Amino acid sequence: MFQKLTIICILAALGLSAGTALAAFEDIPASPRARAMGEAGCSVVDGAYATYLNAGHLGSATEGALVAGYVQPFGLSFTDSYHMGAVIPVSPGNGAVGISLNQFKVEHQDVRLLEETQISLAYGNTLYKDMHSQVDLGATVNMYHLKFGETTSGIDPGNDSALGMDLGLLVTVHERTRLGVMIKNLNNPNIGVDEEELAHRVIAGISYEPYEGVITTFEFDNELGQDTQYHGGIEMYVAQGLALRAGVITNPSKLTAGFGYALDRFALNYGFSTGGGTLDSTHHFGVKVSWGGEAQ
């Protein structure tokens, strides 16, 4: 009984921060770079995180990359969230494939109370390109698996799986301005015996590079049945390989910040966000290794 009450309190606490309660597969940013920039990344190209941010990023990917990240949402010691992802260019002019694994766990006294696993496969390619503009389109298939831990009395709440589909678009204008749109779970998947709807979201944003090494971005995130969130962020390279980032979020109000340091083909990223209320801040760490293409 205590375990059931514990998991309800945990999920309620997480749900309050996102605007919903007791919902499966709440949005936890996979990219520490995006988190640091106000959790905005729909129009900020990052192919290694395309399965999460926008599959349209894969259309112009020229290098392969492998990323891994870890975060404890709101610093809660009983939660862990892991992310691993990769981008693999197919061939020049044929786009790229993205793959990722996300896992969120809730544990109490060495007992696994909840486990959410998401495996994603994406593909993106360029639809149109001329000397001034480019249009990239991508799609993602997500396999969601939800599992609850067995109670002390031996009752197994069971597990369930569902498939979701995302669609992403990225439009580049004059190389400095990008418009991004992503529709999350456009097929309205359900999970569990209660057929709970997984979040159906529409995210759209714009990014602009006024100078080399500086990116500004703004986007809105509208989840069906919830208030619209607005995200804004900036990234600025202040030294060779060193980028500083900051941003803001509404509903709930949060401040974010972080940095990234790249040395040849290796990069370390850190993102920070406030709790947006009574919850503590979140610290997000990630690494990236790339190959082929041009070193960033």
Within-domain flag for 237: yes
pLDDT confidence bin for 158, thresholds 50/70/90: confident
Q: Which domain holds residue 251?
A: 2-291
Q: How far apart are CA 48 and CA 61, in angstroms?
A: 9
In order of 31, 107, 247, 278, the CA distances from 52 in angstroms are: 8, 25, 19, 27
Report how far residue 43's alpha carbon sits from residue 50's, in angstroms, rounded to the nearest whole number.
Answer: 10
- Is 71 contained in some domain? yes
- Confidence bin at 149 (pLDDT 50/70/90): confident
SS (H, E, C) 73-102: HHHCCCEEEEEEEEEEECCCCCCEEEEEEE
Q: Which two tokens stand for residue 280?
A: 């503590």
pLDDT reported for residue 152: 66
Residue 18 falls within a domain, yes or no? yes
Q: What does the pLDDT average to over 110-115?
A: 86
φ/ψ bin of 174: left (φ > 0), alpha (ψ from -120 to 50), beta (otherwise): left
Which pLDDT tens digit goes with each residue over 171-215? 999 989 999 999 999 999 999 888 889 999 999 999 999 999 999
Domain count, the chain: 1
Q: Is residue 40 part of a domain?
A: yes
Chain mean pLDDT for the chain:
90
Give the model confidence (pLDDT) of 20-53 as tens digits: 444 788 889 999 999 999 999 999 999 999 999 9
CATH code of 115's domain: 2.40.160.40
- pLDDT surpasses 60 at 1: no
Using alpha carbons only, give the angle 25, 40, 83 rounded to the nearest 5 degrees.
45
Q: Is the residue at 287 inside a domain?
A: yes
Q: Report yes or no: 51 and 85 within 8 Å, Cβ to Cβ.
A: yes
Inform me whether the pLDDT recorded for 154 exceeds 80. no
92 against 269, higher pLDDT: 269
What percent of the chain clears pLDDT 90, i.e. is strictly above it? Answer: 76
Classify residue 96: in a domain, yes or no. yes
Q: Is 296 part of a structural domain of the chain?
A: no
- 138 lies in a domain? yes
Say if residues 47 and 11 touch (Cβ distance below 8 Å).
no
